[in-house]
């Protein structure tokens, strides 16, 4: 994994965990108990979870593409010899 990929992975993991935690908080505190209503926390949790999933999916697809290109390059080099 490259340095940028590691940062994306950890950012995606953090956003997914934070989003999931916010969704659980929204379920526990259904009434607005203070300044932030449950719908705001739920909405933020959904956005963070989506962002984490998209970053994770992007990293996974990039890894698979790089692996495929490396395999293809090795195959063509072996055929040329």
DSSP state letter for 76:
H
The Cα-based distances of 20 to 32, 40, 47, 48 in angstroms read 19, 14, 10, 8
Q: What is the pLDDT of residue 2?
A: 67
Q: What is the pLDDT of residues 36-80, one digit of tens each?
A: 666 777 777 778 778 777 777 777 888 888 888 888 887 777 766
Encode 44-55: b = buried (16+ Cβ within 10 Å), e = exposed. Answer: bbeebbebbeeb
Cα–Cα distance measured from residue 37 to residue 71, given in angstroms and rounded to the nearest whole number? 51
Q: What is the pLDDT of residues 8-34, one digit of tens each?
A: 778 877 877 887 787 777 777 656 555
Cα–Cα distance measured from residue 11 to residue 5, given in angstroms and rounded to the nearest whole number? 10
Q: What is the pLDDT of residue 37?
A: 65
């Amino acid at each position: 994994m490259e340095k940028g990929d590691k940062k994306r992975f950890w950012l995606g993991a953090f956003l997914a965990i934070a989003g999931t935690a916010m969704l659980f908080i929204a379920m526990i505190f259904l009434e607005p108990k203070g300044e932030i209503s449950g719908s705001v926390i739920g909405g933020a949790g959904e956005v963070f979870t989506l962002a984490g999933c998209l970053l994770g999916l992007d990293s996974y697809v990039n890894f698979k593409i790089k692996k495929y290109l490396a395999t293809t390059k090795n195959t063509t080099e072996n055929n040329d010899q």
